Structure formats: structure tokens, C-alpha cells
Amino acid sequence: MAEAADYSALEHLRDGRPVKIRALRPDDRADMLAAVGRTSMHSLQRRFFVPKKGFSERELAFFMDIDFETHVALVAQIDEDGQPAIVGGGRYIVVQPGQAEIAFIVVDDYQGQGIGTILMRHLAALARDAGLKELIAEVLPENTAMLKLFKKFGFKTASKGSPQVIHLALQLP
């Protein structure tokens, strides 16, 4: 999906600041690590379900080596003091034909500004364009902001698995 690898769009945060939504690039590694460093342990745990202080080289390779077919990743980039900074990201990974798991993370200082909503909208459009039929997500019950976002987009509870994780699914038109 060449267009996903070159994806770029300009949006605005709730406070009016411009935010660029674009494909994750291999040269974003340092900026991604800086964004993770600015994200609280609580937010990282809501995203990864375990306390995270850092990532192994193998994990970094997984998060950075994107093929834009079975693994699509977008970042939210904002201007901070004249320098571009990654302040959020979202991705979907195809888990079986027609179905992909989607996930997001937003740097704490930018939570509540609509970045998750913007990323969801763009990733869902890319998923539809790629012919996917369903997006799934796993969310911790205490992650009320993410549950609210998924509900707004029409995700439904998919299964009653573990009480520690809520499984959600969205059928794509």
C-alpha cells in the first residue's frame, strides 16, 4: 500500500493548534523514543498492559519496521518551539485476513486534545482502503478515555474473555 507509506494530512487539535498526521518513517526512531520518554508510566501501562520503562532492540525493531501492508503506523507530529515533535501514534496490525488489531498512545501533555480521535479516523480510512473488514482492540477497563473513543467510532464488545481486558470490534463498511 504505497499511499499508506507516504500518508500525510494536516489536522487541528481541539485548541486549534495544527497537528500533522503522517506515516511513521525509519528515521523517526529517536523522536519515537523521545515521545515514549515523555509519556507517563501510567499511560504506557494502559497501552502495553504491563509497566514499561523502555524497549528491547527486538521490540523497537517491531515498532519501527513497518511494511504498510500488514502493519500500518501513523504518528501525530506537532511544532514545539519551532521543532517537530511526535506526540502520539497509532497503528494497526493485520492478525488474520480482513482483520487488524488497532492501538494508540498519546504523550500525557497532549491527551484530551483529540489526537486519538484523529488517529483513529485516519487509520480506519486506511484500513478500509486496504480492504480490511474488521478492526479489533483490547483495552484495560480503567482506560475510560480509550473506551469512550472506541465507543464513539462504533466499536462493540466482542467477547467476554479475561475480566482484565475488554475486547472490542468494529465492522468496517
Question: Does the structural domain 2-171 have CATH classification 3.40.630.30?
Answer: yes
> Where are the domains positioned within the chain?
2-171
> Quick one: 172 exposed, middle or buried, by C-beta within 10 A (0-12, 13-18, 19+)?
middle
Does residue 1 carry a pLDDT above 60?
no
Q: Indicate whether 9 pLDDT > 90.
A: yes
Q: How confident is the model at residue 35 (pLDDT cuts 50, 70, 90)?
A: confident
Residue range 121-141: average pLDDT? 94
Q: How far apart are CA 163 and CA 75, in angstroms?
A: 31
For residue 149, pLDDT beyond 60: yes
Q: Which pLDDT score, from 0 to 100, does residue 66 have?
A: 92
Average pLDDT, the chain: 88
Q: Is the pTM of the predicted complex or chain greater than 0.85?
A: yes
Confidence check: pLDDT of 16 > 90: yes
Radius of gyration over every alpha carbon of the chain, rounded to an integer in angstroms: 15
CA 126-128-134 angle, to 5 degrees, is 115
Helix, strand, coil shares of the chain as percentages rounded to 5?
A: 35, 35, 30
DSSP output for 42-105: HHHHHHHSS--S---HHHHHHHH---SSSEEEEEEEEEETTEEEEEEEEEEEEEETTEEEEEEE
pLDDT digits (tens, 9 = 90+) for 41-82: 666 666 665 566 666 778 777 778 899 999 999 999 999 999
143 — pLDDT class (breaks 50, 70, 90):
confident
Look at 151 and 33; give whichever has higher pLDDT. 151
pLDDT of residue 18: 97
User: Binning pLDDT at 50, 70 and 90, where does residue 165 land?
Assistant: confident
Element (H, E) at 13: none
Grid cell in block for residue 137: 482492540
Q: Tell me the pLDDT tens digit for each residue of 78-100.
A: 999 999 999 999 999 999 999 99
Tell me the three cell numbers of residue 116: 486519538
**122-126, 155-159, 162-166: least confidently modelled range:** 162-166
